[in-house]
Amino acid sequence: MNDIGRRSALAALDRARPAIARLDQSRHFEELAADLMESWSAVETALRSLVGGTTLSGQPLIREARQRQLLSFEQANALAEFHAANERAHATDYEPSPSDLDAARNAFLKFESGLMGDHAGATAGAPMALNTEGMRSSPLGAPETVPPPRDGLEPWVKAVLAALIVLVLGGLAFGAYSQGWFGGGQDALQRGIDDYRRGQREAAAGEFTKASRDNPNDPLPHVYLSRMAREVGNMTLAAQEAQAAVKLAPDNAVALRELGLYLFSAGNYDLSRRFLVRAVQADTGDRMAMGYLGCAMIRLGRPTEGQVWLNRAGQGDWSRCVMAGAPVPGQAMSPGMPMPVPATPRP
């Protein structure tokens, strides 16, 4: 991280500190809204200082900082919640809730602690310079030239050893490449999938972000980032990633299904139904899309049609949606924990 940018970001956060300290539910809601907007403006300035030379704001700015690895997945989620609270505070009749105030404090603290952590490791001691002033030449005269001692190896032996070393290094390099250690976009995607299945969400988010940069036309990294955001309740980020996936691949069944599941989680059952229909048309064997299409039909008051799709899908996470109080995608029991992975890597 650029040290100048980091110091500018910390200075901007210092300007937000008084407004953050005033976030108390006992104050009038208009004053709270003003403090929310003031503190978010300072945080946004700090983000721009980190990114450097950008006019982005809001979610695009958070996303840019995350893609440059300037924010952790947790920090990006917290800042997205803070931004959402700031957007709500712009409504003249809106009264900030305790969760809005908590989101602002939480995002500020996580952002600041990340910057302070970087600062702790940024300082390194400068090498000491040897001052030669006052030194004089030896009065004993010029030194006598002495040839270096032989190392005992003949030149032809050295040549053979050098050739062997080159062969060994070449073999290691080939093995590393064949195992994907040097990584491309597809390797980053697979590493992200493995991390996600092991529950290592932070590492998975970093790999999916790298995969989206390495293969900018691949929708799957965005599908995973949408799902991960949906599972922690960050619906703003989930919407952005799901829409990005469908924009990249309008006929991709997995991308269409993820956008449909996001819309189902957001309660927009009619629009969810449309994207789930497109997902089933793109992949007629997608049981998850069929199951949640049935759920959407039932929520729209069309139980007969919904039951037809549920019967086609069989049993799965979607079976819970017909029960009262059952979780929907993005809650504790999010649908489709095993993600379909392409059988063969795409070029």
pLDDT tens per residue across span 308-340: 999 999 998 888 876 644 444 544 333 444 444
- What CA–CA distances, in Å, run from 150 to 2, 144, 158, 161? 49, 18, 13, 17
Q: Are 278 and 257 in contact, with CB atoms under 8 Å apart?
A: no
Most confident of 122-136, 150-164, 294-308: 294-308
- What CA–CA distances, in Å, run from 118 to 5, 61, 108? 12, 20, 16
CATH of 3-116 among 3.30.70, 1.10.3470, 1.20.120, 3.40.50: 1.20.120
Domain range list for the chain: 3-116
- In this prediction, residue 185 carries a pLDDT of 53
DSSP character at residue 71: S
Backbone phi and psi for residue 236, each to the nearest 5 degrees, phi listed first: -65, -50
Q: Which H or E run includes 49?
A: helix 29-51
Backbone phi and psi for residue 24, each to the nearest 5 degrees, phi listed first: -130, 130
Predicted structure pTM score: 0.52
Question: 3-state DSSP: the chain helix, strand, coil percent, rounded to 5?
Answer: 65, 0, 35
Question: Which token pair is 292?
Answer: 């949640």
- Other CB atoms within a 10 A radius of the CB of residue 4 amount to 10
pLDDT tens per residue across span 176-235: 544 444 545 568 999 999 999 999 999 999 999 999 999 999 999 999 999 999 999 899
